[in-house]
Amino acid sequence: MKIVIIGGVAAGASAATKARRTNENAQIILFEQGEYVSFANCGLPYYVGGTIPKRESLLVVREELFRKRYNIDVRVLSQITKINRGRKTVTVFDKKNNTTYEESYDKLIIATGARPFVLPFLKDCENSYTCFTLYDVDKIKETLTNKLIKKAVVIGAGYIGMELAEQLREIGLECTIVELKDSILPQFDKEMTNPILDILKTKGIEVKTGVSVIDAKIENDVAKKLILSNDEEIECDAVFQTAGVIPNVELAKEAGLEVNRGIVVNSKMQTSDPDIYAAGDAVEVKSIITGKNVWIPLAGPANKQGRVAGCNAAGGNLEFKGVIGSSIIKVFDRALAKIGLSENECKSLGLDYNVTIVHPLHHAGYYPGGKQLTIKLMFDNKTGKIYGAEIVGKEGVDKRADVIATAIYAGLTVFDLENLDLVYAPPFSSAKDPVIMAGMTAANIIRGEVKNILPDRVYDLLDNKGYFILDVRTPEEYEFGHIKGAVNIPVDELRGRINELPKDKKIIAYCGVGFRSYHACLILKANGFDCLNMSGGWTSWRMYYPDFVE
């Protein structure tokens, strides 16, 4: 058997090594158009900033190891220009020798990945960079070493853009982020990114959202100023283009394989041609949550997909069950994780969903050093199926994200979350872990113990005469800041002052994080009032509307 693999890095390298472990006798050839067969592209921004000091650390598996340990024929600087399905060959352009030849295959694995989106008018500028390959960061490091760079502009506030902006600021550059969408990290719900936005501003990074770069003033192939869609001009010494990636599907499409946004594959990672497999950033796979095909270019799924494709191409039998879409990013001392669907995605899919927001400490409150977490949990209004979660905080974000990701993969509901048996000791968690607390509040909503309402809905109802907004915090908390028009009756005084509330209106109650107002709603419900608890309380309100308070 002869297995040919197009592309290395995550999916291709995983496919090659798994193919060898599955079939010792197969002939395996891996073609990589670049010089490096496998490198840690997720670590590139951190090498730029010096957090990862040695370039060698990024070279995950070297060409020599592939040959000696795995007996894999690695051919770098070899670009596949065509897949000839009829005669089961690929056309190879050898960059080293400037020659072209054909290589036959029994099984083919496409791991062509993706490429960064680049604004055409900046493509040939000497001071315009992407951060996608080792070549890119070599060029960036050389520039930072040999040229006077003071002002950097990062185009695109996704994962790479945010990480790169952090690292550039850490080495002393003035940095401006420009993002087309109306918020940074636009795959998240906007309110969950506001704490990250705050820390960026604190660190001196300027952020411009809702605008795009439409042109540049270029002198001698150097971009001196960027022109934005709002007519603003930004001076720049260096421009970093991180506005997303495009899947490399051209080879597959020209070969007549089924392609949507990405290459279509089944659970075996087979394409529409049973002798051709595909994996990584170039493919679409099933969403475990919705059952629909999605394109999610992340390193974790790419590695697992490559493993499945390599095994099956070599005669094995593995299955890739799908993706959830689990991701996390560090921005200075904050972490932000997304698991599954955001609320905006639930809304766009037309799901019958609900949301709960909790703000617990990451470990027991009486143990020193507790840091507040915010967990936003999306779930089915009737069944409690978990659609997704977003978590932001300083500590413990990754742990809770992984628990929820595992729960979604296992098909658990919010009723399972509230009953999880998780590890506990004061330095690590609380007796009711933050994930369990999110499950409890969600389950309470479905059971009808309390009705919830999100801050954005409350905002829309501020001038509605049919609603009465009740602040059940202390007078001191109320004076420090409150929602416009809210009446303050502390929860501990509520039973004795219940006659002050109008029975002909719906009551919206809120407190600091939603716990006292939950108790207030139970009291009011028992006394015949129609009451809604604002999820996450004043803390949530400040995340949604940081500038709209009294």
Question: How far, in Å, CA of 32 to CA of 74, rounded?
Answer: 8
**Phi/psi at 230 (nearest 5 deg)?**
-95, 15
Going along the chain from its start, the domains and CATH numbers come out as: 2-114+246-313 (3.50.50.60), 120-243 (3.50.50.60), 336-447 (3.50.50.60), 452-544 (3.40.250.10)
Tens-place pLDDT, residues 291-335: 999 999 999 999 999 999 999 999 999 999 999 999 999 999 999
* 382, 383, 388, 391 alpha-carbon torsion, rounded to 10°: 80
Q: How far is CA 141 from CA 147, 163, 171, in A?
A: 10, 16, 12
Alpha helices in 432-536 (DSSP H): 434-446, 455-460, 475-480, 515-526
pLDDT, one tens digit per residue, over 219-237 is 999 999 999 999 999 999 9
Known catalytic membership, residue 175 = no
The DSSP code for 486 is -
**Structure confidence by residue, pLDDT tens digits, 520-545:** 999 999 999 999 999 999 999 999 99
- Could you count the other beta carbons within 10 Å of the beta carbon of residue 421? 7
Q: What is the pLDDT of residues 476-498, one digit of tens each?
A: 999 999 999 999 999 999 999 99
* CB-based contacts of 497, cutoff 8 Å, min separation 6: 489
Q: Is the pLDDT of residue 119 over 70?
A: yes
d(CA 111, CA 287): 20
Give the span between the Cα atoms of 334 and 373, in whole angstroms: 10
Closest Cα to residue 546, out of 180, 201, 154, 175? 201
> Residue 398: which of 351, 356, 360, 435 has the closest Cα?
435
Q: Provide the pLDDT confidence category of residue 86 given band limits of 50, 70 and 90.
A: very high
Reduce the DSSP state of residue 444 to 3 states and report it: helix
**Are 50 and 171 within 8 A, CB to CB?**
yes
Q: Report the alpha-carbon distance of residue 22 to residue 313 in Å, rounded.
A: 9
- Determine the pLDDT at residue 547: 80
pTM reported for the whole predicted model: 0.95
Question: 395-450 pLDDT, tens per residue?
Answer: 999 999 999 999 999 999 999 999 999 999 999 999 999 999 999 999 999 999 99
Determine what percent of the chain falls in helix, strand and coil, rounding each to the nearest 5.
Answer: 30, 30, 40
SS (HEC) of 131-193: CCCHHHHHHHHHHHHHCCCCEEEEECCCHHHHHHHHHHHHCCCEEEEEECCCCCCCCCCHHHH
From 42, 175, 346, 531, the catalytic residue = 42
User: What pLDDT score was predicted for residue 510?
Assistant: 98
Cα angle: 286, vertex 346, 463; to 5 degrees: 175
